[in-house]
Amino acid sequence: MVNHLPIRFQELCMLCEELSKISSRISKIDLVASFLNRLNSDEIAPAVRMIIGDVFPAWDQREFEVSGTTLFKVLQNLTGISPSEYLDFFNRTGDVGSSFKAIFEVKRKPVQKLLFEKPLTILEVYRILEEITKATGVGSRKRKERLLESLLSRASPLESKYIVKLIIGERRHGFGEGLMEEAIAKAFNVPSIFIRKANMLISDIGYVAKRAKLSGVSGIRDIGIVVFHPIKPMLAEDVKRVGDALLEFGGVAAFEIKPDGARVQIHKKNDRVEIYSRRLTNVTKSLPEILEIIRNNVSAREVIVEGEVIAVGTDGKPLPFQYVMRRFRRVKGIEEAMIEIPVKLYLFDVLYVDGSSLIDMSYLERRKTLENIIPKSMLIDQIVTRDVEVARQFFKSAIENGHEGVVAKDLNAPYTPGIRGRKWLKIKATPETLDLIIVAAEYGYGYRYKWLSDYYLAARDEETGELLVIGKCFTGLSDEEIKWMTEQLEKIAIMRRGRTVIVQPKIVVEVAFSEIQKSPHYESGFALRFARITRIRTDKSPEEADTIQRVKQIFEEQFKRKSKK
């Protein structure tokens, strides 16, 4: 039976606490499904996102922009804690949210409760968090501080833990989007395959849950592609050689060049064009020339296409990845940037044309449709072959022309949004790399003494959501990139320990290394040997970073080539 009384935020927090203690996947799904059944229709979307550690959908542009300094100031106002005392609590608990809870339990100042003040509800917390994102411009920091202090002054210690976690993006109870899809399916008796597909198409698990509650199977099956509502990209697995890809696909495959650029998904309806990054962020304002190319060259009235944007030099050859990332980050001085860093667009897929979804079509059918709606000059270079030597030469040519490698594609594969499967396989000439999250940084020495230039790198544990450090790195970035990195890390700093700054886990970097070693120095049990940062992956979210399970896999694979003691 539906409870028509508002659900308290405390109950959602207690659920998350319980999830952190349970290892059984089925038990977690059952527990969440039971909770979802109690929610009202207007509560379910925010509650579902909050349980997995989000407040808004991935494509939503709203951000809290609450610094560690602001968080500490609010905490100090409410508890009177000193920086050194806070550091002690942080060292004991290991994360910011748990630190707030522990501090509130022992140091909170007496709060005068108003007679009419009621416990926080899920919707009330959500609405105040929305208000924090709306505070922009002059005086916004003060307004954010007031809103946050007002919210935390009413929160219990446990509620304060999860409010802070939502703001800074901490996730540690091991219940992610995949398990949430299963819980929604169980709660509302909808096959999980339908829930998964709907979420892939609209990238909003909260909306999917609400639709499942209100309309069941029929409502979920009716969810389709919506223009200007970005779709999660299909992802590729790594293989070592082009021959491996041919074997995987039964002896024949399409091979496309893999530019050293940034992936984009472009939506067009009449003259309106919006460009989304791999992270589903709207980057249209940064790429006005791409907007005009699509507007003037795509014949379909309504379309969603995918491609890569690369930066090019005066000779027309590709520039390194960091140059195109500068364009994506640029929001001012766009005209100057267009001259300084020209970009080029390659298109490789089409997902939707004039009211029809194409994602269930084969790769070959989608490619043919794409060829019919754009000029040949906009298509990514491609061959279809059974001959491994022809594929090798294509790969060699791609590398010689400044590209990253090639992507092999199964000719009969549909487009599977959000899935990293073995229907697309990427082959690169670069050494083994991992995408890792910066969780702390140290100021350097010598001429780098003013810059955060030594970085602690972490991989996600996909079972618990915990971030586990697997090494430090201080090489690979240019002085210009280190200066930029210092500015970004200072904005998301949580606390300081001498010359070390603990930061919100938001920045992903690609890291090359010679091998992975066992190590007693890090909680993960692993360390990278000769690590160096090869690029800053602002196009990737922390949720897309590599996992500790992937690190273990690479570690084990090393011993196919060498002895294992």
Q: Are 262 and 286 in contact (CB under 8 A)?
A: no
Q: At a CB cut-off of 8 Å and minimum separation 6, what does 276 contact?
A: 59, 230, 264, 265, 266, 267, 282, 283
Q: What is the CA radius of gyration of the chain?
A: 24
Q: Are 292 and 333 in contact (CB under 8 A)?
A: no
* DSSP three-state, residue 240: coil
Our answer to whether residue 258 is catalytic in this structure is yes
Q: At a CB cut-off of 8 Å and minimum separation 6, what does 431 contact?
A: 512, 513, 514
Q: Which amino acid is at 350?
A: V
Distance CA 381, CA 163 (A): 48
- On the 0-12 / 13-18 / 19+ scale of CB atoms within 10 A, 93 is middle
Cα–Cα distance list, 206 to 55, 185, 351, 416, 494 (Å): 9, 13, 23, 20, 29
Cα–Cα distance list, 447 to 279, 440, 451, 501 (Å): 35, 20, 9, 19
Cα–Cα distance list, 200 to 150, 161, 265, 269, 477 (Å): 36, 30, 14, 21, 35
Tokens of 537: 């992956």
Helices and strands (H, E) in the chain, number of each type: 20, 19
Distance CA 468, CA 376 (A): 46
Tokens of 362: 């084969």
Q: Are 538 and 496 in contact (CB under 8 A)?
A: no
Catalytic-role residue among 258, 344, 423, 540 = 258
What is the sign, positive or negative, of the torsion defined by CA atoms of 167, 169, 173, 175?
positive
Q: Which amino acid is at 77?
A: N
E-assigned strands of 328-376? 343-353, 356-357
Residues noted as catalytic: 258
